[in-house]
């Protein structure tokens, strides 16, 4: 289990970031998720990966309800912490990433989490439906709406430009 959990950490961290929008909060959520996974093993017959993403999502929902801190901007300058950014191309990539993060932050929570699981984690619709306890049709329709909303947000003139 330890080896499998270690392999899951990068994906769980990306998922936590997609939920929280800030690396510091994502790291806290990841730590809570790992603590919960280590203290309470997955139910019999459930894959560790599916269980881990479910635990992470449920912890985030609990935190959201308890503190009402969601809906913060997805700007995270700490993403480039410790990295040397030089060159026009690197700056363009950073600006694009920031635009996408801001657009993702504007999506409703249910759409953002499905988009993150399918597009960032590469999970199958069936697996996403199990993780989120939703019918597969709901996953597919929310994903379609999320993709369309993201395209619309990214094609909006001056999207993400801050003064």
Q: Spell out the per-residue pLDDT of the chain, length 163, in tens.
A: 778 888 999 999 999 998 888 899 999 999 999 999 989 877 888 888 889 999 999 898 888 766 553 333 334 444 444 444 456 777 777 787 888 888 888 989 888 889 888 888 888 899 999 988 999 999 999 999 999 998 999 888 765 444 3
Q: Are 19 and 57 in contact (CB under 8 A)?
A: yes
Confidence at residue 158, expressed as pLDDT on a 0 to 100 scale: 63
Nearest to residue 56, comparing CAs of 100, 19, 6? 19
Confidence at residue 42, expressed as pLDDT on a 0 to 100 scale: 79
Q: What's the whole-model pTM score?
A: 0.51
For the chain, how many helices (H) and strands (E)?
A: 7, 0
* Domain edges within the chain: 1-70, 91-163
Confidence at residue 71, expressed as pLDDT on a 0 to 100 scale: 37
Topology (CATH) of 91-163: Arc Repressor Mutant, subunit A (1.10.10)
d(CA 52, CA 5): 8
Q: What CATH number is given for 1-70 in this structure?
A: 1.10.1740
Task: Please indicate whether the domains covering 1-70 and 91-163 agree at the CATH topology level.
Answer: no
């Amino acid at each position: 289990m330890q080896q499998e959990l270690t392999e899951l950490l990068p994906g769980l961290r990306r998922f936590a970031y997609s939920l929280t929008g800030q690396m510091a909060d994502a790291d806290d959520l990841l730590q809570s998720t790992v603590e919960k996974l280590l203290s309470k093993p997955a139910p019999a017959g459930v894959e560790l990966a599916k269980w881990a993403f479910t635990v992470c999502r449920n912890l985030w929902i609990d935190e959201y309800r308890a503190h009402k801190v969601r809906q913060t901007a997805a700007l995270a300058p700490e993403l480039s912490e410790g990295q040397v950014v030089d060159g026009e191309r690197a700056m363009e990539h950073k600006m694009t990433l920031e635009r996408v993060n801001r657009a993702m932050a504007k999506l409703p929570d249910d759409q953002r989490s499905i988009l993150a699981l399918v597009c960032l984690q590469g999970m199958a619709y069936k697996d996403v439906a199990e993780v989120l306890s939703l019918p597969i049709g709901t996953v597919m329709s929310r994903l379609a709406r999320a993709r369309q909303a993201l395209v619309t947000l990214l094609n909006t003139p001056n999207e993400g430009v801050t003064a």
